Amino acid sequence: MSWTKEALEKCLLKIERNIDGIGAHFPHVAYDGVYNDQGAAFWTSGFWPGLLWLLYQEKKDEKALLLARELEDRLDEVLDGFVTLHHDVGFMWLPSAVIDYKLTGNAKSRVRGLKAASHLAGRFNLAGNFIRAWTDEVNPDSKGWAIIDCMMNIPLLFWASKEMNDPRFYHIAKAHADTVLKSFIRPDNTTAHIVSFDPYTGEKIENLGGQGKDPDSAWARGQAWAIYGMALAYRETGKEEYMTASKNVAGYFLSHLPEDKVPYWDFRTDAEDRFVLDSSASACTASGLLELSGLMEDGAEKEFYHDQAVAILKGLYENYADFSEETQGIIQKGTVNYAKKKHVNVPIIYGDFFFTEALIKLNHKTEVF
């Protein structure tokens, strides 16, 4: 058995074990080997259901299906509550309801996905051509804020556009991606995390530091969101500028990776903070590079990005993966937000998700994003 298939089998086995250990909770980060319960309203609530659906897709595990459905049902309170919803509804309902619908044809799941997409479309700021981040409850200054993470949420709009045969969703997603091209990605192929616009005129005001070291730094996971998200935007639109952006940001990411393939939390971090790593950025980038490779026609380029993804996955597998029965997290040394000293060098549920998703992509297409 190849190491990639061995790694995938180990991931699936650990997900299966976690059905009893994590259960009907919504994990985010793990301490002392155990995932917390972050609650249904948090933006990461779709990733544990997503892992269960990956297990179901590969093994037809009925326990995984039943638990994923239970979690999906629990998300209804958040979806119907509406006022706490934010820009990350793609992260929440693509790996839960939408993948349920794609794999099983569950009509109720389809409606959930379309409701979430309608909310995301409703966050579009027409003056600035961006999808607004967060809510006033989180930050009253965020009315004109957009973030790089949303490149991974707009696939929900592309899906809804096809599902409803309604181009409005498509146009909103594309307009947001165009704004990211114009206002987020810098000439050196790094990306800002947060960009502030005047919410009434749409004019760009400034970059904000967000989860990076400072406004002009290169937050590692932000680069990953751009690599993967731009590849997905190209897949849905065929717009060459999106593929070029994905390749350019990937070039920066890959050229600054250490030998073990896991970056510092920010590529421009100070020397004293280089103990802070983010394995989740590597996992997401690997999955994004495989997406990018699969979209390419040039054989040499296709092979290059595929091989780079495999090298990252191998680095994660050999140096950061934990498949023991005593712990719940798979990929170690992820960092959520070192700028606020939150959750440093710990397993993160989306790191586990993107690592598993990428391993599956090596064998066949996945249906999540």
Confirm if 88 and 94 have CB atoms less than 8 A apart.
Answer: no
pLDDT in tens, 35-59: 999 999 999 999 999 999 999 999 9
Domain membership flag for residue 78: yes
Domain membership flag for residue 368: no
Mean pLDDT, all residues of the chain: 97
pLDDT of residue 225: 99
Q: Give the three-state DSSP class for 195.
A: strand
Domain membership flag for residue 25: yes
Distance of alpha carbon 2 from alpha carbon 302, whole angstroms? 21
Domain membership flag for residue 369: no
Checking if the pLDDT of 111 tops 90, the result is yes
Pull the structure tokens for residue 360.
């599956």
Q: How far is CA 186 from CA 80, 144, 198, 207, 249, in A?
A: 38, 20, 20, 11, 9
pLDDT in tens, 133-168: 999 888 888 999 999 999 999 999 999 999 999 999
Could you list the residue range(s) of the whole structural domain that residue 345 is in? 3-362
Torsion of CA 222, 227, 230, 234, to 10 degrees: -170
pLDDT of residue 136: 87
Domain membership flag for residue 367: no
Angle CA 121–25–60, to nearest 5: 85
pLDDT of residue 357: 98
Q: What is the mean pLDDT of residues 100-111?
A: 98
pLDDT of residue 140: 86
Distance of alpha carbon 224 from alpha carbon 283, whole angstroms? 9
Adjacent-strand bridge partners of 331: 321
Torsion of CA 87, 154, 94, 207, to 10 degrees: -40
Q: What is the mean pLDDT of residues 78-100?
A: 97
- pTM recorded for the entire structure: 0.98
| C-alpha distance across the termini of the chain, in Å | 28
315: CATH: 1.50.10.10
Domain membership flag for residue 347: yes
Checking if the pLDDT of 1 tops 80, the result is no
Q: How many domains does the chain have?
A: 1
Q: Give the three-state DSSP class for 35.
A: strand
Burial of 25-46, coded b for 16+ CB within 10 Å and e otherwise, reads bbbbbbeeeebbebebebbbbb
Residues classed as catalytic: 88, 149
pLDDT of residue 159: 99
Domain membership flag for residue 156: yes
- Amino acid in position 209: G
Domain membership flag for residue 174: yes
Residues sharing a CB contact under 8 Å with residue 70, sequence separation 6 or more, in sequence order: 24
pLDDT in tens, 192-227: 999 999 999 999 999 999 999 999 999 999 999 999
pLDDT of residue 341: 94
Adjacent-strand bridge partners of 124: 131
